[in-house]
Amino acid sequence: MLRVVNEVRRYEMFHPNDRLLLAVSGGKDSFVLFDVISRIHKPSKLGVITVSEGIEGYNRDEDVVWVLKSCRELGVDCVKTSFKEAVGHDLKDLVERSIKSNLNVSPCTFCGMIRRRIVNRYARELGYDKVLTAHNLDDEVQTAFINMLRGDLNRLLQSHPKGPRLSDLFVRRVKPLRKVYEWECAVYAYLRGFKFQEVECPYILSRPTLRAKIREYLYRLEGVKPGTLLGFLDFVDELIVKYVSNAGIPPLPICRFCGEPTAHNRTICKTCELLSKVGALDEG
Ligand code: SF4
Ligand code: ZN
């Protein structure tokens, strides 16, 4: 438990005076991060956002009760919002539309894109300095590995806390648990007696299989040589900080529908494109 607290405490990507917005899902890692950060950061400089996707049977309201109660007790601001409120449709509706339109888009793609957009927009509009997410070491290594296998340097940079900020509209996302193994988060949560999301997302089986395969492969490597994941992430950090982050990548253009940043060579962001393809984009 102490190692988890120490890792967050010595994480250098936020300062005591930063206003931090923590994105809390019903998962154990975000509960762990909330528990640690609320002990070491001033409550007046901390906010929490929970976003309900609107997935049938996935009972987020019950699962975040502890967070909402803790926020009230600690005097931490809390925003509770949903996909429905932000884009006019819940995830279940978007998935049904996607199936009807014969689009081969996984629910997780919609889910991740819309969630990131909502959290970033709230953080920007409410004047937060950083967004905190609860990605752990296992998540980070899997993501870096996937981006490398795909040869996607832009994504590798954008998912890294020290990568260049390619738009002023992005609030920097930092990940204080990125050097903490998933099992350490699980032990912390268990020892603290947290009750977290017991219902599994029904779309979990549609998760990209590449991630599942890489996850299994990395666990095997870690089993044979403990410390492999940490060593790999240290290597990625060094690569990005020393050699890549100042590569002079131009700022991102703006989506003509939603006004959020989009990839180079695009005029419409991927989120708006997909919403439009399933007839769910409010073009007014
Ligand atoms: Fe979203 Fe996919 Fe996770 Fe379900 S499994 S919450 S759809 S990212
Ligand atoms: Zn857009």
110: Cβ below 6 Å to ligand 1?
Answer: no
Q: Which of 89, 95, 108 to mutate to test the pocket of ligand 1 (most atoms within 8 A of CB)?
A: 108
The closest residue, in CA terms, to atom 6 on ligand 1 is 201
Does residue 263 lie in a domain region?
yes
CATH no. for residue 218? 3.40.50.620
Report CA 69 to chain centroid distance, whole Å. 23
What is the band of 200 on the pLDDT scale with cuts at 50, 70, 90? confident
Does residue 284 lie in a domain region?
no
pLDDT for 181: 96
Number of domains in the chain: 1
pLDDT in tens, 17-71: 999 999 987 788 998 999 999 999 999 999 999 998 988 777 566 667 878 888 9
Residue 107 Cα: closest atom of ligand 1:
7
113: Cβ below 6 Å to ligand 1?
Answer: no
Considering every ligand atom, which ligand is closest to the CA of 268?
Answer: 2
Nearest to 36 by CA among 190, 185, 233, 234: 185
Does residue 282 lie in a domain region?
no
The closest residue, in CA terms, to atom 7 on ligand 1 is 108
Residue 112 Cα: closest atom of ligand 1:
8
111: Cβ below 6 Å to ligand 1?
Answer: yes
Does residue 208 lie in a domain region?
yes
207: Cβ below 6 Å to ligand 1?
Answer: yes
pLDDT in tens, 148-186: 999 988 888 888 888 888 899 999 999 999 999 999 999
Residue 25 Cα: closest atom of ligand 1:
6
51: Cβ below 6 Å to ligand 1?
Answer: no
Domain limits for position 29: 2-277
For the entire predicted model, the pTM comes to 0.90
Considering every ligand atom, which ligand is closest to the CA of 208?
Answer: 1
Does residue 164 lie in a domain region?
yes
* Mean pLDDT score across all residues of the chain: 89
